[in-house]
Amino acid sequence: MIELQQVSKTYLIGETPLRALREVDLVAQEGEYISVMGPSGSGKSTLLNMIGLLDRPDSGSYLLDGSHTERLPEEQRARLRGEQIGFIFQSFHLVNRLTTLENVELPMMLAGVSVRERRTAAQEVLAQVGLEAWSGHHPNQLSGGQLQRVAIARAIVMKPRILLADEPTGNLDQASGREIIAVLENLNAEGITLLVVTHDLNLGQRARRQIHMVDGRIETDISAEAGAGAKYVPG
């Protein structure tokens, strides 16, 4: 479903160009569990943003379900983002003035779903991440692990097929991190395609497919049968 062909992206950091992606080829099937690892500046976040349609390639193609996305107008890319892709960020990015429930409803509100429908859907996914009792709270009343679970609820409320997580445990303590990973892997087990970008080797090695990036290139791409069932020890 995800197919990158010879994708390149260069950023200008001040005067000096930074080649974040160099002719990257990547094919991912529905329901895969992929981790992307690599040092800082190796291009792993750029890869994630590219797949998440937040960024456009300078050259090369990105096919989602067999159709080209790189030349789609911004409106359609935004709609695809809303419907097909869920994002999870290291720093949660919840809107502080909104309640938990309203934060989860946000993508549906933007998509123009009616109040009653999205309330039901939001409560459902909040129950799924174990936070149904917290729907009226504001983000500043929740712990880090809870915040990330709200963020996950928000990412899956539109029932996307791809879940992109950028260092999802980066701001969490061990116990919360473990919880979050369990939630994400459960979602993957139910069929969602999960792509996790991380520094954390322990987390990265849990994925069935592990990609290492160096200098904007995919260095290794290993499909392992490890991971599932092994105990996660954040490091």
Partner 1 sequence: MYLADQIRFNWQIFVRHRIRTGLLLLAVGLGVASVILLTSLGEGARRYVNQEFSALGNQLLIILPGRKETTGGSPPIYGTAPRDLTLEDAQALARIPSINAVAPVIAGTTSIAVDSLSREAIVLGSTPAIFQVRQLEVSQGKILPDRTRSEAMAVCVLGAKLKRELFGHDRAIGEWVRAGGRRLRVVGVLVERGESLGMDLSDMIIVPVRTAEQMFNTPGLFRVLIELAGNADLPRTEKRIKEIIRERHEGDEDITLISQDAMLASFDNILSTLTLAIAAIAAISLLVAGILIMNLSLISVSQRRREIGLLKAIGASSAQVRQLFLGESLMLVSLGSLAGIIFAWSVVLVIGRIWPVFPMAPPWWSMPAAVGTALLAGLVFSWMPARRAAALDPVLALRGQAGQG
Binding site for partner 1 (CB under 8 A): 45, 49, 52, 54-55, 74-75, 78-79, 81-83, 87, 89, 93, 95, 97-98, 106-107, 109-112, 114-115, 154-155, 158
CB of 212 to partner 1, least distance (A): 22
Shorter beta-carbon distance to partner 1: residue 52 or 168: 52
CB of 84 to partner 1, least distance (A): 9
Quote the Cα angle for 192-195-199, to 5°. Answer: 150
Shorter beta-carbon distance to partner 1: residue 163 or 232: 163
Spatial neighbors of 151 by CB under 8 A, at least 6 apart, are 88, 89, 92, 93, 94
CA distance 6 to 90: 28
CB of 58 to partner 1, least distance (A): 14
Sequence length of the chain is: 235
CB of 51 to partner 1, least distance (A): 12
CB of 42 to partner 1, least distance (A): 16
Q: For 167, list phi and psi in degrees, rounded to 5.
A: 50, 60
Q: Which two tokens stand for residue 21?
A: 């992606």
CA distance 159 to 153: 10
Shorter beta-carbon distance to partner 1: residue 6 or 91: 91
CB of 119 to partner 1, least distance (A): 12
Could you tell me which residues are beta bridge partners of residue 223? 209
Shorter beta-carbon distance to partner 1: residue 63 or 78: 78
CA-derived radius of gyration, the chain: 18
Shorter beta-carbon distance to partner 1: residue 12 or 225: 12
Shorter beta-carbon distance to partner 1: residue 17 or 220: 17
Q: For residue 227, is it left (φ>0), alpha (ψ between -120 and 50) or beta?
A: left
